[in-house]
Structure 1
Amino acid sequence: MGESTLQDQDTEQTPLLPDSERPQQSEPTAAKKAARWVAQNAVTVFMSTLILTLILGLCLFFGLHAPSKTLNAKVCLTPACVHASSEILYNLSPEYKNIDPCTNFEELVCGGWDERHDLRPDQGDAFTGTIMVEASQMLLRHILEAPYPDGSKHSSFSPAQLLAPLSSVDEQNFDKLRDAYDACMDEDTIKKDGLKPLMELLHQVVDLFPVTESNLGKPITSADSKSLSETLYLLLEYEISALVSVGAGADDKDPDTVVVQASQPYRIGLPAKDYYEDKAVVKTYQDMLEETIELIHPANAAAHGTWMKSTGLRNTATGDSKHYAKEVVEFEKKLSAATPDAADQNDVTKYYNPMSLEDADKLTPQIHLANIINSLSPSNVKTERLIVMSPSYMSNLTDIVSSTPKDVLQTYLLWKTVQKYASVIEADELKPYSRFMNKLQGKDPESTPERWRTCVNHVDGGLGWILSRFFVEKAFSEKAKIFGDQIVSDIKEMFIEKLKATKWMDESVIELAIEKVHKIVQKIGYPTKSPNIMDPSSLHDYYQSVNITPSTFFKNSLSMSKFDVAKEWSSLGKPVDRDEWGMTVPTVNAYYNPPGNEIVFPAGIMQFPVFDVEVPQYLSYGAFGSVSGHELSHAFDSTGRHYDQNGNYTDWWTNSTVEGFTERAECFVDQYAKYTVPGPDEKPIHINGKLTLGENIADAGGVSAAFAAWKKRTAETPNEDLPGLDHFSQDQLFFVSYANWWCGKSRKETAINRIYTDPHAPKWARILGTMANSRDFAESFQCKKKEPTCELW
């Protein structure tokens, strides 16, 4: 399609008719007669010519200002522009010229994408961002599988242009990356080890929380509380949250202070509490757990006997696996019922519950929360206060644990350990679990990602800042960083203008909101502090405690987990480090951090087709600019609005402003709740308008601010057109670029999972809903209905 369209454009430059069909000149006598007639009718000819000239002028004027034309714009024919144009053309529906953009913009922009992209057996869904992720993964694979680049192969944008001692440290850092990657890729050794590394960890759990014949089937007593808290502490050290989850982070009401936070586990067992209401899913889950319990015991009889004596599982041959599978699932159901709904878990007005450690400890007397927190905290720090994110869960947990047999509780703790580390074990005993998780997402039950993808992700998760240093050298530039800063700065400027024009906010609130925008910290590309990824010594020191060898994949994983936990808890007793980033550089994502009042854009998202310094700016403003505006809009969404210009969680809005916001926010809740996906029984499941509210507000605000920013820029420096896309104006291509970012497809089961757990609406709804909320979109495409469905800014 791209080639034929380009050829058609060339054809338009040729004469309308060939030379053989052009009219020939008249005879001299005829010319003289015509001249004589003109002389006799000069006034008539002059007036007719004048009228014809005016008509042609008006036609030319309106032709140049029609939606499909851009005044005096040149066509960009550089390789980057041709590439960008072909990407859009391939993604467009083949029938894009016949589709009404005002009613089905997602099909218009993404119809071709759907036809040309199939999901791999191991994928539950994919979109343009997934393609970007896989491009980054491929680049990282090439880095990790190549030798350390010598000086001649380093770009100028590299810390390797260094003195010899620092260059040596840089190479040591690279070797650490390679060792971690090679250990993950050594599938022969991993398969040979089988369950053994995991069994060693399970035995640690059993040793700390043993079950004897005397307490089989009986609830724990006060004498068991110490061992239970020690076991939970061990699990938390390895990033396993069972029964409770505790961590350290910025205090919402004192954002420069680190505080302890306690909550329900991020995940009980199944990926979302909604699944416990689905009898078919629960039955399959329980059957899988029964099979896993039967398979997971040591193979030889002597080891099996020892294992049985120290666990509540006893002799699985007599049907105890069925008993324990059923009891664990029933236990999980109780925990799930006590867990707040997903929307409430993201609501700061409900999860910010400060209390003394002494009072919090009284909520869960069997767990000794104070002992766990003091064990995780630095030795020189005494915790006296924490944030309990769900007091009702904690108090309910007391009743649930008190009424649960100790052997069932132990089995649950073992199961949580298996779930956490199943992905780093290659053993047939864990196949039932991987099959179950694949089926739950609609994937091929036997599918696994390509090993190198798993290992790239493993290295990024454990040594991400070292990997970031090598990614930046290959995939980013100073020019890109400057352009990214420009876009974000432009967005901030335009958002301020929109705040000034807002009618439902009181003037006093608008002034503070403008101050908040001015104070938003923008982090672009990569960090230069905490750690400075361009300083090899800084990276070396940062990861010094992570023990990596090229032959011990499981131990490497444990060391990475322990490092992450220790790093988090080491922040206690110190001011919040505002230089830290929450995402590594290759990450294709971005975020707004309310207590830090910062927006962060890793270099991973600043890649083609979302961001490109070499193409007309309406493409980058349409995609990356809208992402930037999205993150900035989070500062004033249903969560961000509760934080002032300094990141303090406080009531800084007047009552009338809150009322105006609430009324308009409810429109978004209702709008998105009308969108549905097919449920397991083919009955529609509605998008959770409350859960997705913040993201939907941010999408609308982001596009609005980005379009205004681009219009101001292009008024100063006009953009070129793209070849083959003369059907669209540049204004329209801004929105095509926005929607192109969200083109994707999903398996039915994955779509359901995301409805339950994801605060973002489905990708297609982020196109349709956001365009329905854009006045600029309606005007650009000359839609009959110009008024947005919902609007805040």
Structure 2
Amino acid sequence: MRLSKMRKTIVILLGLLSLASCKKEETAEKEFKEITGVDHNLKPGDNFFRYVNAKWYDTVSIPATQAGAGAYMFMNYPQRLRLQGILDSVSKSENTKGSIAQKVGDFYASGMDTATINKRGFKPVKPVLNDIDKIKDIPSLMHFVTNNMMVGNGSILSFYVGPDDKNSQMNIAHANQTGIGLPDRDYYFSEDTETVAIQQAYKKYLSSLFRLTGSSEAEAKEKADLVYDIDKQIAQSHRTRIERRDVKANYNKMAVSDLDEKHPNIAWSAVLDDLNAQTDSIDVGQPEYYDQLNSLLKTVPLEDWKVYLKAHTLQNYADNLSKPFVDAAFEYSKVISGQAVQKTRGEIMASAVDDYLGEALGQLYVKKYFPEEAKERMQQLVDNVQKAYAARIDKLEWMSDSTKLKAKEKLAAITKKIGYPDHWKEYNNVTIDSNKYFENIVSASSAAYQRNLEKLGKPVDKSEWFTTPSTVTAYNNPSANEIVFPAGILQPPYFDNEADDALNYGGIGMVIGHELTHTFDDQGAQFDKEGNVKNWWTDSDYEKFKSKIQQVIDQYSEFTVLDSLHIKGAMTVGENTADIAGVAVAYDAFKMTKEGQDSTKIGDFTPDQRFFLSVAKIWRVKMKDEFLRLWINNNPHSPPLWRVNGPLMNNPHFYEAFDVKPEDSLYVAEEDRIVIW
């Protein structure tokens, strides 16, 4: 996945292998694990995802507490159960005050104490609501906004510190669009039946929050409509997800003095003083949003803004308050996701601890679940795939030698992080009380803000991680030119230290190749080897590259997902490019191994067939229709079925392995198959 500028990891995957280290791998005999569940009544060339996964897909039940089942992001469900086991143990132990175990255990215990949480009702958030009542003018409104943002209660301002896209060695201030309650700006303007139902559920949720804090039913509905109207006015200024893929258009470094002149109602200098941020410039990702906000601060009555701030405060904290608030939040979310039943409290708290004290919990996780030998083999896989990628670049027919040289320099400069950080984050300034869950969250949020703020104006720490060790994900960070594979994904079906090469190259190898390709997708290709937005292409080569990227957009836009709902090719192009190349380069790396050079069948399948079967198994996922619709509208990845069928229909070795013919549904004429990297 590509790491966004907001430092959230959006999950994407890679694959590659190479000549080096093969000798060490071949000295150890690995188990040839049986591949089960293949439906031999189906033709692999018609729908390879179903050929491999149909028996599982048609019989598996999605747990009532989940929106889907299987691999990929839904592996985080069994991960949370693992984490819950660690937390149950540590929370019941006698731990030294201030230790990692004490903070993690007491945070978990405070959230598991639902009796105390329910008894407190919304008392913890009342001081915040009272502060909103005290707002008397625009400056005091902005003062409230900035002070609350520092403790995790965000609303109309987005502020964070991260690398400068044009000087990746230094950290600068950034501000992006924000301020809406629905998942994306398009939800406010779509009129299809499903989206209208989500709009109504959101309004009902807002109304419930106001009723729970003392408003009458009629008053609550009126306030909800008011908040929705302000949300919609804000959404009009938001750039679409496709527009936000334009790296250069979303880099707008501006002087604070100019912003003060342009946005007198926001008053940036005062905002930065409140935030304790000493800077004379900010990268404003989407300037139109702040233009609109500056105007709305005047045109929307102050009393209406107070209602809006209360609504967003209650939304931000609902899951951390008493059961009626948690229930209200779930009633809204289940309309979007299709999830039938709330998660258990233990699962919720495992996620919460991972969110707020992730690297503290991560230390306990890797100690128990991630052996050093697994890290060593994964390092071999990554190195080999990287070398296979270099060989593919050498063979490209469409790229000139001068650009190939630059591409290989960038590839060689990639930093590879595996398993867990070399240096763990400290949580010394986080105060945890086993009886005060809400306050624990505020303390952890405040510490996270201060940790981020301390980077401002300082050199970038290239050792920092932006996901937790236990998360099932992988990411590419273009500003650091790095790829990251946390311990969470280094387990079956992606990686199995005891399995043969075919399964590992088709699994985690594809993921490695995917992440490497983000270095060269439509966005990553605009960054140089140092992580700066800087052109390293010849004009002719870049035009050819853009033409090939358009082929990916056009092909995937034709894929139907649900009813008449199609994949958004322009929104998912980076991930689709990474999937196509990820499989291709992982296959090349696999062919460098002893098993890859053999043709002996194992359990009725050739080594090449086992490789492609593994590719399909790692995307073995089943989702609720509601969640699939949410996915299509918001996720930059294609749905799992097309993460299998899309790359394979462009891969010549798949055609050879399964004798795919022109009459088969996945068949694409050779001249129309997409090859970029």
Contact 1:589/1:602 (<8 A) preserved = yes
State the Cα distance separating 1:625 from its structure 2 match: 0.6
Contact 1:148/1:171 (<8 A) preserved = no
How far apart, CA to CA, are the structure 2 residues paired with 1:149 and 1:448? Answer: 25
How far apart, CA to CA, are the structure 2 residues paired with 1:581 and 1:503? Answer: 36
**Which residue in the other structure is 2:410 paired with?**
516
Distance change >3 Å, CA 338–CA 454, structure 1 → 2: same
User: Unpaired runs of 5+ in structure 2?
Assistant: 1-25, 662-666
Supply the AA of the counterpart residue of 1:618. Answer: A
RMSD: 2.4
**Which residue in the other structure is 1:376 paired with?**
275
Matches within 5 A, 1:93-104: 96-104=39-47
Match of 1:496 among 368, 390, 396: 390
Contact 1:173/1:466 (<8 A) preserved = yes
How far apart, CA to CA, are the structure 1 residues paired with 2:481 and 2:404? Answer: 17
Match of 1:617 among 501, 515, 527: 501
Q: SS of the residue aligned with 1:250?
A: strand
Match of 1:248 among 157, 161, 165: 161
State the Cα distance separating 1:131 from its structure 2 match: 5.3
**Which residue in the other structure is 2:446 paired with?**
562
Bigger mean CA deviation after superposition, 420-429 or 764-773: 420-429
Match of 1:596 among 480, 483, 489: 480
**Which residue in the other structure is 2:16 paired with?**
none
**Which residue in the other structure is 2:321 paired with?**
425
TM-score, structure 1 as length reference: 0.77
Match of 1:485 among 379, 404, 429: 379
State the Cα distance separating 1:130 from its structure 2 match: 4.5
**Which residue in the other structure is 2:12 paired with?**
none
Contact 1:464/1:584 (<8 A) preserved = yes
Contact 1:292/1:429 (<8 A) preserved = yes
Q: SS of the residue aligned with 1:610?
A: coil
Distance change >3 Å, CA 190–CA 108, structure 1 → 2: same
Instruction: Summarize deviations over 1:674-730 as a string: whole Å, max 9, x none.
Output: 12333xxx5x222111110000000111111111011102268869865xx31x211
Distance change >3 Å, CA 461–CA 318, structure 1 → 2: closer
**Which residue in the other structure is 1:262 paired with?**
175
Contact 1:366/1:398 (<8 A) preserved = yes
Distance change >3 Å, CA 321–CA 125, structure 1 → 2: same
Match of 1:228 among 119, 134, 141: 141
Supply the AA of the counterpart residue of 2:437. Answer: F
Supply the AA of the counterpart residue of 1:685. Answer: L
Supply the AA of the counterpart residue of 1:255. Answer: S
Supply the AA of the counterpart residue of 2:271. Answer: I
State the Cα distance separating 1:367 from its structure 2 match: 1.6
**Which residue in the other structure is 2:288 paired with?**
392
Supply the AA of the counterpart residue of 2:82. Answer: L
Match of 1:292 among 198, 209, 234: 209
Contact 2:501/2:595 (<8 A) preserved = no
Q: SS of the residue aligned with 1:601?
A: strand
As a proportion of its length, which structure holds more helix? Answer: 1
Supply the AA of the counterpart residue of 2:292. Answer: N
**Which residue in the other structure is 1:414 paired with?**
310
Matches within 5 A, 1:525-540: 525-529=419-423, 531=424
How far apart, CA to CA, are the structure 1 residues paired with 2:584 and 2:310? Answer: 50
Matches within 5 A, 1:301-700: 316-317=215-216, 319-377=218-276, 382-429=278-325, 431-444=327-340, 447-529=341-423, 531=424, 542-678=426-562, 684-700=564-580
Q: SS of the residue aligned with 2:171?
A: strand
Supply the AA of the counterpart residue of 1:508. Answer: S
Decide which structure has the larger Cα Rg and report it: 1
Bigger mean CA deviation after superposition, 458-467 or 319-328: 319-328
- Residue 122 of structure 1 pairs with residue 65 of structure 2: yes
Instruction: Summarize deviations over 1:426-459 as a string: whole Å, max 9, x none.
Output: 2325533321221222222xx2101111111111
Contact 1:242/1:416 (<8 A) preserved = yes
Q: SS of the residue aligned with 1:341?
A: coil
State the Cα distance separating 1:172 from its structure 2 match: 2.6
Supply the AA of the counterpart residue of 1:133. Answer: N
How far apart, CA to CA, are the structure 2 residues paired with 1:719 and 1:615? Answer: 18
**Which residue in the other structure is 2:594 paired with?**
714
Contact 2:211/2:217 (<8 A) preserved = no
How far apart, CA to CA, are the structure 1 residues paired with 2:515 and 2:167? Answer: 22
Contact 2:138/2:297 (<8 A) preserved = no
State the Cα distance separating 1:204 from its structure 2 match: 2.9
Bigger mean CA deviation after superposition, 319-328 or 602-611: 319-328
Bigger mean CA deviation after superposition, 461-470 or 273-282: 273-282
**Which residue in the other structure is 1:194 paired with?**
121
Q: SS of the residue aligned with 1:355?
A: strand
Contact 2:253/2:282 (<8 A) preserved = yes
State the Cα distance separating 1:282 from its structure 2 match: 2.4
Contact 1:121/1:443 (<8 A) preserved = yes
**Which residue in the other structure is 2:9 paired with?**
none
Contact 1:290/1:322 (<8 A) preserved = yes
How far apart, CA to CA, are the structure 2 residues paired with 1:199 and 1:514? Answer: 57
Distance change >3 Å, CA 370–CA 443, structure 1 → 2: same
Contact 1:735/1:777 (<8 A) preserved = yes
Instruction: Summarize deviations over 1:191-242 as a string: whole Å, max 9, x none.
Output: 11121112233223333x25xxxxxxxxxxxxx2321221111221122332
How far apart, CA to CA, are the structure 2 residues paired with 1:119 and 1:355? Answer: 48
Instruction: Summarize deviations over 1:708-759 as a string: whole Å, max 9, x none.
Output: 011102268869865xx31x21101111111111111111221111111111
**Which residue in the other structure is 2:102 paired with?**
175
Contact 1:616/1:719 (<8 A) preserved = no
Supply the AA of the counterpart residue of 1:407. Answer: E
Supply the AA of the counterpart residue of 2:353. Answer: V
Distance change >3 Å, CA 147–CA 449, structure 1 → 2: closer
Contact 1:480/1:613 (<8 A) preserved = yes
Distance change >3 Å, CA 324–CA 704, structure 1 → 2: same
How far apart, CA to CA, are the structure 2 residues paired with 1:621 and 1:339? Answer: 41
State the Cα distance separating 1:336 from its structure 2 match: 0.9
Q: SS of the residue aligned with 2:594?
A: helix
Instruction: Summarize deviations over 1:559-583 as a string: whole Å, max 9, x none.
Output: 1111111111111121100010111
Aligned length: 639
How far apart, CA to CA, are the structure 2 residues paired with 1:711 and 1:281? Answer: 48
User: Unpaired runs of 5+ in structure 1?
Assistant: 1-73, 151-166, 211-223, 298-315, 532-538
Q: SS of the residue aligned with 1:697?
A: helix
State the Cα distance separating 1:295 from its structure 2 match: 2.6
Distance change >3 Å, CA 364–CA 473, structure 1 → 2: same
Distance change >3 Å, CA 715–CA 283, structure 1 → 2: closer
Q: SS of the residue aligned with 1:350?
A: coil
Match of 1:106 among 32, 44, 49: 49
Instruction: Summarize deviations over 1:289-316 as a string: whole Å, max 9, x none.
Output: 234322322xxxxxxxxxxxxxxxxxx4
How far apart, CA to CA, are the structure 2 residues paired with 1:719 and 1:196? Answer: 68
Contact 1:635/1:641 (<8 A) preserved = yes
How far apart, CA to CA, are the structure 2 residues paired with 1:239 and 1:318? Answer: 29
Runs (4+) of structure 1 exceeding 6 A deviation are 167-171
Higher relative contact order (CA 8 A, sep 6+): 2
Supply the AA of the counterpart residue of 1:627. Answer: V
How far apart, CA to CA, are the structure 1 residues paired with 2:52 and 2:512? Answer: 21
Q: SS of the residue aligned with 2:282?
A: strand
State the Cα distance separating 1:672 from its structure 2 match: 1.0
Q: SS of the residue aligned with 1:599?
A: strand
Q: SS of the residue aligned with 1:256?
A: strand
Distance change >3 Å, CA 456–CA 200, structure 1 → 2: same
TM-score, structure 2 as length reference: 0.90
Supply the AA of the counterpart residue of 1:293. Answer: F
State the Cα distance separating 1:129 from its structure 2 match: 2.5
Instruction: Summarize deviations over 1:159-184 as a string: whole Å, max 9, x none.
Output: xxxxxxxx997993212211111111
State the Cα distance separating 1:146 from its structure 2 match: 2.1
Distance change >3 Å, CA 321–CA 132, structure 1 → 2: closer
State the Cα distance separating 1:317 from its structure 2 match: 4.2
State the Cα distance separating 1:495 from its structure 2 match: 0.6
Matches within 5 A, 1:726-765: 726=604, 728-765=605-642
Q: Percent same amino acid at aligned positions?
A: 31
Match of 1:770 among 611, 634, 647: 647
Instruction: Summarize deviations over 1:339-371 as a string: whole Å, max 9, x none.
Output: 000122232121011111112233332122222
How far apart, CA to CA, are the structure 1 residues paired with 2:460 and 2:96? Answer: 29
Contact 2:319/2:326 (<8 A) preserved = no
